[in-house]
Amino acid sequence: MDQSVIWGEVIDIREGEVVVETQWLGEVSIDLTAIMLLESDQEIELLTKDQNKFALSSLQVVEGEVVLEDEENLAVDELYVANPEEWEEGHGYSLEGRVTSAVEFLRGNTSTDQFNADFETILRSQRDRITVRGDYAETSAVVLSPEYDEMGEPVLDANGDQAVTKDSTPTIDNWAIVGKYDYFLSNSQNYLGVNLGVNADRFADIERRAYIGPYFGRKLFVDKTYQLDAELGLSYVETDFIEPDDPAARNASDNYFTGINLNFTGETELFDGALNLYLRQTNILNVSDMDKSIYRTTFGLRFPLLFGLEAAAEASADYDGGAAPGKEKLDEAVRFRIGYNW
């Protein structure tokens, strides 16, 4: 409360803050509890945290209270949102999501084609939340090999140049899909959920791995700027390995285990929403053999472009302690993505 006076248009009230559009400063977010006096002649609807709605012809906030004409004044810490959407009033779902891809084509003595895509969709209501995520990656190397005849002499093409053979060899081929259902408890920061994941990795000899399990989750941070969910539960994990044509060449047996699932999902806005830093961390701990635990970490920085387009720089590290013997357990990648969000 430094006695500052701000002139502008009230464009939003949400999660304890009012957003004012000013001529010189752009959008300014102010904590409602820090406001001594706010006056606006705009019509506005206010929804409280306990789902009571007030339709006002004008808005007046005085020292932490919304002034109501024929009722007792309303404390600002009871407010949930202004001009709520239907789902915020408890009717239906909101839909948000994004799809991004990263493609690279390199040509030379050794050519490389890389393709990676992922998507995320979230359906959200006042009661529950449904999340579906998926990603796919494929990389192949094309090697140019000179051709020789049986006598060891170069084979020439129609132009008189030495003929070459192009051999395409896949080096990455994996995909993953995760589905989650969350049901919010009376304290909406707490929820119960269940998740289901399926993935495959050709070069880790994993034909299919599936896991399912319940968990308890809590929203550790629910601020507009900082959001972090933590989840703790159990997971049943089953892995089927690729069977070679020659049974004697098989080096891994299908297996299953029940472990502890610990997940973190978070994001934060930087520079007034110009950048978004995000984190997705999945841990499945094999309590009978910790060396065979599974960890998957993704963090990145995304920023909006025009017309719903966005760009992102992302790094990931996947540790698969249950990979087949002789296979690399750690996969690391850095990607630059472009996509669309809604």
Q: Express each pLDDT in 325-334 by its tens digit.
A: 878 888 888 8
Contact yes or no for 333/316 (Cβ under 8 A): yes
In a 13 Å sphere around the CA of 47, the CA atoms on its Cβ side amount to: 16
**Does the pLDDT value for residue 106 go beyond 60?**
no
Mean pLDDT confidence for 166-186: 85
Boundary residue ending a domain (55, 84, 113): 84
Residue 158 sits in the same domain as residue 58? no
Q: How many separate domains does the chain show?
A: 2
Residue 108 sits in the same domain as residue 65? no
**Does the pLDDT value for residue 104 go beyond 90?**
no
Residue 138 sits in the same domain as residue 232? yes
The domain in which residue 323 lies consists of 94-341
Residue 50 or residue 224, greater confidence: 50
**Nearest Cα residue to 241 out of 256, 225, 254:** 254
**How far is residue 182's CA from residue 160's CA, in Å, rounded to a whole number?**
67
Work out the pLDDT band at 107, boundaries 50, 70, 90. Answer: low
Predicted TM-score of the model (pTM): 0.79
Polymer length in residues for the chain:
342
Mean pLDDT confidence for 156-160: 76
Residue 210 sits in the same domain as residue 280? yes
Work out the pLDDT band at 143, boundaries 50, 70, 90. Answer: low
**Does the pLDDT value for residue 118 go beyond 70?**
yes
The amino acid occupying position 312 is A
Residue 195 sits in the same domain as residue 304? yes
Identify which of 146-160, 222-236, 249-263 has the greatest average pLDDT. Answer: 222-236
Q: Which two tokens stand for residue 92?
A: 């239906």
Q: In this predicted structure, what is the pLDDT of residue 134?
A: 95
Q: In this predicted structure, what is the pLDDT of residue 223?
A: 73
Work out the pLDDT band at 306, boundaries 50, 70, 90. Answer: confident
Mean pLDDT confidence for 118-128: 94
Residue 233 sits in the same domain as residue 303? yes
